[in-house]
Amino acid sequence: MLPPAPPSEPSLDFRFARTALDRRADLRDDVPALAALAADRRARTLVTSGSRVVVARRSDGGLDAALDGDLAARLAPSDAEPIFLGTDAGVGWFALPLADPDRAAAAGLELIELRALAIAGTLPDTHYGALAAARALHHWHEGHRFCARCGAASRPTSAGWKRVCPSCSTEHFPRTDPVVIMLVEDGERCLLGRGHAFPEGMWSCLAGFMEPGETIEGAVRRETLEEAGIAVGAIAYVASEPWPFPGSLMIGVRAHALDRTIRIDPKELADCRWFDRDEARLLLDRRHPDGLVAPPPIAIAHHLLRTFVETR
């Protein structure tokens, strides 16, 4: 069993980092052990459709995404193989894709966007980490049905954690796309930007995908310079967050600006400017006089900005 994370670990502030599961990679090729876990009446299964999650409404009005295995199997395609997510106190947790939204409705279940569930916090807290894994794995399987080497149809193995090509024997493994997200600071000010697809009034940290052969620090400096024209010096890691939209890892840092003149790339950003601590606090508290806001607490950008506001 994995040892528990220290309660002070910064990444535990993020909903999608919270899980009670031990992934038990040692069981992924143990067919009898997996069959026994799946046959246990206590086994739980998460059912997803894209970024939406099938949930049951409890008698107390709350929501639950962990479904009974037999019910989940009736919702999934007949040929779908469950993904083994791990165990919680010896109970197996699995994931299946939804075949048809009508099946969920006919069973009295609801289909809700994962992002909305996370913002509202309406699920048991430890469900979110398991859902992040289920969503990312289902997205990977949907996009990797054929071998990238020879083009033949591949098949899932290892309880959903690998695909193998029967033609050329190439093994394919799930990918996570690392993204650097940085709060660039200049003493009492921080640099925030607006993406072209952002909701009206939303300002956030700069961010970008890491490239092959690149360090975290190198990606932070490159992305900040490309997007805002700001050179960055010292960089300090803060925390990381799984981000299942569809399958990224957000690597959060604080970065020191070496210059202050913004030279925005209009292809990358709709706008970019400096905010002082007091104005940044208004963004977080949603009390800015111009109606400007920061991302909600489920996003690592919110916590990076909160760290800046509350520490000097």
**Could you read off the pLDDT of 19-57 as tens digits, one per residue?**
999 999 999 999 999 999 999 999 999 999 999 999 999
Is residue 88 within 8 Å of 152, Cβ to Cβ? no
pLDDT band at 3 (very low <50, low <70, confident <90, very high): confident
Does pTM surpass 0.85?
yes
Q: pLDDT digits over 172-204, tens only?
A: 999 999 999 999 999 999 999 999 999 999 999
Residues 186, 312: Cα–Cα separation, whole Å: 11
Q: Which of 146, 144, 152 is nearest to 168 (CA)?
A: 152
Tally of domains in the chain: 2
Q: What pLDDT, on the 0 to 100 scale, is given for residue 8?
A: 82
32 and 97 inside one domain = yes
Residue 56 lies in a domain: yes
pLDDT band at 6 (very low <50, low <70, confident <90, very high): confident
Q: What pLDDT, on the 0 to 100 scale, is given for residue 275?
A: 98
Report the DSSP pairing between strands 189-194 and 162-164: unpaired
What mean pLDDT comes out for the span 285-308? 96
Strand order in the sheet with 171-172: 155-157, 162-164, 171-172
Is residue 260 within 8 Å of 274, Cβ to Cβ? yes
What mean pLDDT comes out for the span 6-28? 91
Rg (C-alpha) for the chain, rounded Å, is 21
Residue 172 lies in a domain: no
Residues 197, 10: Cα–Cα separation, whole Å: 28
Residue 150 lies in a domain: no
Report the DSSP pairing between strands 91-97 and 44-49: parallel
Q: What pLDDT, on the 0 to 100 scale, is given for residue 97?
A: 97
Residues 73, 197: Cα–Cα separation, whole Å: 37
The answer on pLDDT for 271 being more than 90 is: yes
101 and 211 inside one domain = no
Residues 227, 221: Cα–Cα separation, whole Å: 10
Q: pLDDT digits over 66-117, tens only?
A: 999 999 999 999 999 999 999 999 999 999 999 999 999 999 999 999 999 9
Residue 181 lies in a domain: yes
Q: What pLDDT, on the 0 to 100 scale, is given for residue 150?
A: 97
Q: Which residue segment(s) compose the domain that 220 sits in?
A: 177-310
Residues 134, 82: Cα–Cα separation, whole Å: 10
- Token pair 């997996």: residue: 34
100 and 217 inside one domain = no
103 and 192 inside one domain = no
Residue 109 lies in a domain: yes
Crossing angle for the helix pair 277-285 and 300-310, to the nearest 10 degrees: 140
Residue 243 lies in a domain: yes
Residues 251, 242: Cα–Cα separation, whole Å: 9
Q: Would you give the DSSP letter of residue 40? A: S
Instruction: Give the H/E segment covering residue 129.
Output: helix 127-143
Contacts for 233-241: CB closer than 8 Å, 24+ residues apart = 233/257, 233/258, 235/182, 238/10, 238/303, 238/304, 238/307, 239/9, 239/10, 239/11, 239/13, 239/14, 239/300, 239/303, 240/11, 240/17, 240/300, 241/11, 241/14, 241/16, 241/17, 241/299, 241/300
Of 129, 145, 161, which residue constitutes the final position of a domain? 145
